[in-house]
Structure formats: structure tokens, C-alpha cells
Structure 1
Amino acid sequence: MFAGQLIFKQVMEFMPLPTFRRCVAKYQGERRVRRFSCLDQFLCMAFAQITYRESLRDIEACLRSQQKKLYHMGIRGRVSKSTLADANEKRDWRIYAELAQHLIATARELYKEDSFSDDLDETVYALDSTTIDLCLSVFPWAPFRKTKAAIRLHTLLDLKGNIPTFIHISDGKFHDINALDILPLEVGAYYIMDRGYLDFERLNEFNQIPAYFVTRAKSNTQYKRRYSHPVDRSTGLICDQTIVLTGFYARKDYPRALRRVKFRDEKTGKSLVFLTNNFTLPALTIAQLYRSRWQIELFFKWIKQHLRIKSFFGTSENAVKSQIWIAVSVYVLVAIMKKQFDLQESLYTILQILSVNVFEKVPFYQLVTERDYNQETRCPNKQLNLFD
């Protein structure tokens, strides 16, 4: 039966507390901490993400106005601006990074049965980065230009469910190509990238796994055609070729054959040239795969609009990274709930509903769908079964 929990508490029920405590112990997050625990910090920051708070003072004022409900939200420590600022400054951001990675693994398992393409059973990833501008005088640890600071979020997005599987936070000077050096590659997976990642020495590493990449060619790429394959020009395809690189350094860095697909977009009238190390998929599928890369652009736009990652509650590197990883954790938590409850509503709709109902005591499913349901069949049950 529904126990009358707050909506915020129902959301946090999906957070794996044993895993979180292991992360805290691993990085000594509560060493010399008496009252305000890492869990209190996470819950306060998650509250800020869900309810769109703009500052630490804003968080303090809202939570103190609901003092009697803090215990039922799971917050045991006294909430104050200085205490929360100190926690963001000193508690290791890797605690929340590892928690987010665990939630990501859970979400990917839930979304693995979703179909991305009828032609592909393998996992398809989109790789890109987004820049968040900062003030150089306030964030001197994140240099970008002479008068500007910035951080970059290098993100690998699983296109099944739009779940970010890899995130690297760097300063603005960290080039996109360098992200390929730390990118975890999966056997048989497809990686869709723009031409900012065109580095033949690094792309040659994909063949060692093996994994597949689809990227755009630069206009000055030198090559020699080996074979031309027939294409249906009515679909927008212009050519499908097997090539070898002829540039001195490019040929040395990538001695293997490549596939070159040229496609004309009817809507824009532009001709796009794609390079890939996959020779089995139809040429039109290669073009459609690259088109799906646009989902990561929409993902960046979405999180910048609906998560608190453009203005920060602290100025240190640790505080910024902690806030970003907690924001990612909240995003994945909502994605997990969406799948667990089999909701048809979008993540945007769910977050908007949550933002104004965190202190309500109604079943989450009923709140989102405006329908009655049996809480026992929907909510994750933590009671151990005595009998199989």
C-alpha cells in the first residue's frame, strides 16, 4: 500500500544507497564530518536540480521553509548556505561521478531492448562536446581564451534511450580529438562523430577492437579511389567508394582502406561526405546513422535548458564537477523512473511536474499520469523475499 511518502522521497528511492555509501567510503567523503553528510549534500543538490533553484541561498530558504518535512525527504543535517558551500568545496566530486556511472549502467540495462534501427542490433553512440562559458576571474582554473574561461563536457550518448554513458569534464582548451584517447571502446559498436574528431592515427585504433566509426571527411582529405559500388541516386546517394589515403602523414597513420559515401541532402541541398571503416552496411544506412548524431545536439540543448549546469553554486573545480555529476544523476534517475513506470510522458514533462510537487504526498505514477494505480506493483520493493 502507498505509505504516504513525499514525491521527492519517491524519486530518491531509486538511488542505490549501498553503492552510494561505498563511494563515500572509497573517497573518504565523511572524514571529520559530524553533521552534514554526503547524502545530505546530494539530496540538497538534487532538490536544487529538480526545483530549478538558482543559488545556495535559494536552496536554504526553500528547504528551511519546509523544516518539518526535511526528515521525510531523507535530509538529517541542518541546511545552511555556508555548510552546503563547504560541502561542495571539499567533498570529492568522484563520489557523485561513480554514483552517476552506476545509475547509467542501470538505465542502459533497462533501455537495451529499445530499438534504434531496424538494420542494426549493435549499440550506436554519438560523440560530441559542448562548451559552458565562465568568467575567467571567478574560474581561473578553467582557461579558454585570454579573457574568458570555460569548461567542456565531452559526452558519449547511447542513442537507445539517450543515456550518456561517458562524460569527461575538462577546461575549454582541451581539444575534442584528445577525448578519443580516453574514450572506452566497445566491440562491434558504432561511434558517430563530426569532423572535429578526424584524426586518422586515433581512428585506426578502432580497427584493433574492432569497433566502427562514421565521421565526415574534410575538404582537403587526399585519397585514391580503389572501387566504386553501385548506388540508387534517387535516395540522395551520389557515390559509394572504397578508398585509400594518399597524404604522407594520413597514409602512415591509417594504412588500411576506408569507405567513402557521398550523400546529397534534399532539404538543404548540401552534399556531405562520410568516412567509415564499415564495408557491410548499405550506403544509405551510413548516411542515416550520421543524421542520428543530431540527437546529441538535442541532448546538450535539453540539459542546458532544464538542468542547473550553466550557473554554478561554487567556483572551485570540485564544486563545479560535483554539481554537474549530481545533475547527470538526477537526469538518469528520472530516465530510470520513466522506464520502470512505463510512462509515455517525456522527460521534460516529468521534470516539470516534479518541480512543483516535490512536497506532495501522492503516488508518483498517479501524479504524472493523473490515473490511479496500485503502488505495490510499481514501486521498487526493498523487502527481501523469504520464498522463491
Structure 2
Amino acid sequence: MNDTRADTLIKQINTIQRLSLLKSFKPLLEKLHSYADCHNRKLHYDHYASLLLLYFFNPTFTGLRSIQHASTLKNIQDKLGVKRTSLGSLSEANHVFDPQLLTHIINELAHDVNRLPFQERFNNLDMTIVAVDGTLIKALPKMLWALWMDEDHRAAKMHLEFDILKGIPLGAHVTDANKSEIAQLESMLSPGKLYCLDAGYRKYRFLNTILQRSSSFLVRLHDNASYKLIQERALSETDRKAGIEFDRVVWLGSTNTRNELSRPVRIIQLRYHDERALSGFSRKSRLSSKKTFRTPSVGKTLLIVTDLMDLPAELIALMYRYRWQIDLFFRWFKCVLGCKHLLAHSENGITIQVYCALIASLLIRLWTGRKPTKRTFEMICLYFQGWATLEELIEHIEKLKSKEQK
């Protein structure tokens, strides 16, 4: 009984210690203080990053002018350790400071995050399950570097690595919207990861590059992908219940492309039912230049390829299903965290903003111990604005945890 009380007390203390970061971002960012120091520059890198984090946790802020005005408030100056700054200094900071220094903070925070309560079978995997995708952030026509459709339609693209089992971003790169997602991911590849990718990453030479980097892949193929059958694997009853139609070992590609992969791979066909179609929703069929890419019927199939030969087919299908968590994060990133509005026009400034947004999302994940939601984000914002107490915020978090345990 005493041990149980002690564990509860330790959890409460840990929660309070994590939430103490809400009062000040100084301990987290102090290592940035002396970067790019100048005798006539009063705005330090850690001060600028603190003000950006404050921007994300205060929905009433609408831009750099809001941040500049907030820097004149004594309470903010005391808690963040910043001085009154000018609009020109904030604008200059977008060009002066190096966004890559923030990646070290992102890595430290990501390392401290615990896994979400997934099925225990995932705990036996000795690799990090990573979803990778890109999302567009609309830009102004005068942002000439942000190439997209034409001179009147500009956009930046965020290429994101997302840890599925932790439910957190691991890293990101910002480029113009026309940047190849495959080329960008190839520059980010690292060993010991399982990359869960959509059909846009299906280039066979690229998949072979992943294998050469001592990692694995799980990718959706086109329905009409060519391959040479080597082995038809038996399906278990669990596989059939999960909708697996076949599990095969193959040489992937046509006669001309078969040498682009250095080893046989495994393809799994999964059937699922579109619940929206059952309710009358009709989606337009997506067509490639020659053949139908996906059918518009209620019953649909996914063709998945992987180099993992030992895992059950239904577990591979489940992992691909969790890949969609990255799309949910994109929605939260833009619609809830408020990254639709850009605070800078330069690629460097937008990268700093994106990295600070990732730090904000990681802080929420650490504070709450769960994936961020709109209600929890609102509660944290209310705390920042003085409408909610620390005790009420902790009570809100504990209620969420008790609901998940039930």
C-alpha cells in the first residue's frame, strides 16, 4: 500500500516538474543564448525562441507585432528573461539565427518521451517505426524562393519524420513546394528505422537505398505493380480476419526494372471497406496516365511491400494503418497549433518557426503524457493567460489519463 502511495506521489512530482517549464522556457533554451552575439544586438537567440513558443501558446497573438508588443510587458520580461525588443530586431532574427541549433533541443525532448500504449507486440521490434510525408504551407507571392504552381501561387513544404509508437515528430526540413520528397528523405535516412511510406515513395531504387542504409521499409504500391512470384505464403486465421488476401515473396518490378532492388521482398494485399462509401459518399476515381490507380468501389484493396520477412502479415497491415497518424499530426499542426500563419518570409525564418512549433508539440506531449488534443491545448493556453490554475491543469491531465486506463 505504501509503495502504491509512493508511486503516485512520484508521478505527481514528475508532472509538476514538467509543468514548471510552462512558467519559463529559459532552462530549455539557455544553451542558445550566446549564439550570433553582437555588441549592438539585444535580442538573443534563446529570447527569440522563447517569444515564438509564447506565440504558439497564446492564440490571441496574430503576428510579429503581437510578439513585439508582448515583449514590452513586465510579467513576460521577468518570466522569459527577455528585454523589450523592436519589430526590426524580430525581423532581423529570422535571417541571423541558425535553425539547425534547434534540432538538438528537438532530439533531446523526443528522447525523453515515452511510448504510447500500443499493442505489446510492437515492443519487441528493435527499430523505430517512422512515418515520413510532406505537407504544404501556403506562402505569399512575394516569397520568390517558395516555388510551386506559378508566380501567383507560392508554398513551402515541410518534410516530417514522425515516430508512430511515441506519437511525436522526430525532425523536419523546410523547402520550396516543388522539392522532391524522395530526394529529401534520401538525405535524411539513418540506420535502425522502419520507414512507413505512402505510394509516392515507391521508387524501387530508393527502396534499395533504404536497405543499404541498414533500415527497412513498408510502402504502398500501385494496384497494377509488376512482380515475379517466388513463394506463396500461408495465411493464418488471424491474417484472414484482418482482411489479408495474400502474402507473397516476389522479385519486384518488370523485366526492365527488376534489378533495381537487390533482394526479394514481400507483398501483402489487404482488403478493407470504405465506411464513407457505405453511407453514400462518392469519391472520384484517381487515374494515372494509362491505368486506374484506385477503384471507386466500396471494397478496396491496398498492396503493401516490405523487406520484413518474419513478422505476421496482419501486424504489417496494422503498422501501415498507423502510418496515417502523421496526417492527423499535420491537421493538428496547422489547424490547432496555428502554423497556417507565417511569421517570416525567408526560408530560414520559416524553418525556425516550424522547429519552434515542433518543440511546442513535444512539450505538450511531455507535460501531458499523451498525444496533444484540442481540449488539452486550450487548457494550456488558458493557464498561460491566467484563467486556469496549475492545479486545474494537472487535474485536467489526470482525468485524461484515467479515461485512457479505463
- CA apart distance, 1:246: 4.5
1:155 aligned partner: 160
Query: Are the equivalent residues in 2 in contact too, given 1:104–1:163 (CA < 8 A)?
Result: yes
2:63 aligned partner: 55
Using a 3 Å threshold, how does the CA distance of structure 1 residues 253 and 15 change in structure 2: closer, same or farther?
Answer: farther
1:350 aligned partner: 376
Moved more, 116-125 or 173-182: 116-125
| Mapped pair 1:328 → 2:358 | yes
d(CA) in 1 for partners of 2:32 and 2:103? 9
- CA apart distance, 1:234: 4.3
d(CA) in 2 for partners of 1:311 and 1:266? 37
- CA apart distance, 1:160: 2.1
1:383 aligned partner: none
- CA apart distance, 1:157: 0.8
Using a 3 Å threshold, how does the CA distance of structure 1 residues 222 and 15 change in structure 2: closer, same or farther?
Answer: farther
- CA apart distance, 1:21: 4.3
d(CA) in 2 for partners of 1:39 and 1:361? 27
Paired residues for 1:105-116 under 5 Å? 105-107=111-113, 111-112=114-115, 114-116=116-118
Paired residues for 1:34-183 under 5 Å? 34-52=41-59, 53-64=61-72, 67-107=73-113, 111-112=114-115, 114-121=116-123, 122=125, 123-136=128-141, 138-147=142-151, 148-183=153-188
Determine helix, strand or coil for the equivalent of 1:264: strand
1:11 aligned partner: 22
The amino acid of 1:56's aligned partner reads: L
Using a 3 Å threshold, how does the CA distance of structure 1 residues 370 and 102 change in structure 2: closer, same or farther?
Answer: closer
- CA apart distance, 1:262: 0.7
- CA apart distance, 1:225: 0.8
What are the superposed Cα offsets for residues 34-64 of structure 1, whole Å, 9 maximum, x if unpaired?
Answer: 4222222112111111102211222233454
d(CA) in 2 for partners of 1:127 and 1:57? 34
The amino acid of 1:265's aligned partner reads: Y
| Mapped pair 1:265 → 2:272 | yes
- CA apart distance, 1:350: 2.8
- CA apart distance, 1:156: 1.3
What are the superposed Cα offsets for residues 218-247 of structure 1, whole Å, 9 maximum, x if unpaired?
Answer: 234221111112224443221111111342
- CA apart distance, 1:276: 0.7
d(CA) in 1 for partners of 2:309 and 2:196? 15
Determine helix, strand or coil for the equivalent of 1:124: strand
Query: Are the equivalent residues in 1 in contact too, given 2:71–2:83 (CA < 8 A)?
Result: no
| Greater RCO structure (CA 8 Å; 6+ sep) | 1
d(CA) in 2 for partners of 1:23 and 1:317? 20
Using a 3 Å threshold, how does the CA distance of structure 1 residues 134 and 361 change in structure 2: closer, same or farther?
Answer: closer
1:380 aligned partner: none
The amino acid of 1:214's aligned partner reads: L
d(CA) in 2 for partners of 1:167 and 1:41? 20
Report the identity percentage.
23
Moved more, 148-157 or 295-304: 148-157
Using a 3 Å threshold, how does the CA distance of structure 1 residues 350 and 225 change in structure 2: closer, same or farther?
Answer: same
Instruction: Report the number of matched residues.
Output: 352
Determine helix, strand or coil for the equivalent of 1:100: helix
Query: Are the equivalent residues in 1 in contact too, given 2:146–2:155 (CA < 8 A)?
Result: yes
Determine helix, strand or coil for the equivalent of 2:106: helix
Determine helix, strand or coil for the equivalent of 2:57: helix
Using a 3 Å threshold, how does the CA distance of structure 1 residues 12 and 317 change in structure 2: closer, same or farther?
Answer: farther
Query: Are the equivalent residues in 1 in contact too, given 2:223–2:302 (CA < 8 A)?
Result: no
Query: Are the equivalent residues in 1 in contact too, given 2:25–2:80 (CA < 8 A)?
Result: no
What are the superposed Cα offsets for residues 334-367 of structure 1, whole Å, 9 maximum, x if unpaired?
Answer: 212223xxxx794433321222332539863543
Determine helix, strand or coil for the equivalent of 2:148: strand
Structure 2 residue runs of 5 or longer lacking an equivalent are 1-12, 275-297, 399-406
2:225 aligned partner: 221
- CA apart distance, 1:202: 1.8
| Mapped pair 1:300 → 2:330 | yes
d(CA) in 1 for partners of 2:108 and 2:51? 20
TM-score, length-normalised on structure 2? 0.78
1:195 to 182, 193, 199: 199
Moved more, 75-84 or 362-371: 362-371
